[in-house]
Structure 1
């Protein structure tokens, strides 16, 4: 399994206000917006940050998202490692397959692959 990208997720109360702060201060550009989550990136798109109000289908917001080439393998590995799965392996309507696990410090990790 290979990690493709890692994106921090910040929970915000005001999505438009947060977008404005990051765009105006850091020069980031919006590259994805689903209304409840948006992703901003630098000009080279090598660095990204996601801002979200409340996850659309999960009971908890993740702290970080990790895109992998094989989410099913990652899920099997997380279960085998005894990690707590806090959002089951799910095919989401916006084109990703994902699950969330909680690490030993309580951080919630969204592991996903694009379909």
Structure 2
């Protein structure tokens, strides 16, 4: 199992201001999104952050997204370790298989794998 990227998720409803800041001030490009989430990054896929109002399916804000190449293996290890599963392992309509788990510090981690 390999980690492919780690992406911070900033909770906000201020999408216009976020666009102005992350594009105009920081210099990141907007890379699409949905009505509840924006993606900013560069031409390197590993350089990305998200600004989201609230995850529309989990109804919980994930602090960080970690993309892996085997989400089922990570899910199994999390369950065996007794970690709190905040959102169950789910195949999402937009092509991700994911779950949310709470780390020992209380942070919610969105563990994902692209279909």
Normalised-by-shorter TM-score class: over 0.9
| 1:100–1:110 Cα contact (<8 Å) kept | yes
SS in structure 2 of the partner of residue 75 of structure 1: helix
Look up the match of 1:101: 101
* TM-score, length of structure 1 as denominator length: 0.94
Look up the match of 2:37: 37
Deviation at 1:100, TM superposition (A): 0.2
CA distance in 2, matches of 1:85, 1:26: 34
What stretches of structure 1 of length at least 5 have no aligned partner? none
CA distance in 2, matches of 1:108, 1:47: 20
What stretches of structure 2 of length at least 5 have no aligned partner? none
Answer yes or no: is 1:86 the counterpart of 2:106: no
CA distance in 1, matches of 2:7, 2:53: 16
Structure 1 moving runs of 4+ over 3 Å: 43-46
Deviation at 1:43, TM superposition (A): 4.0
Deviation at 1:14, TM superposition (A): 1.1
* TM-score, length of structure 2 as denominator length: 0.94
CA distance in 1, matches of 2:45, 2:97: 22
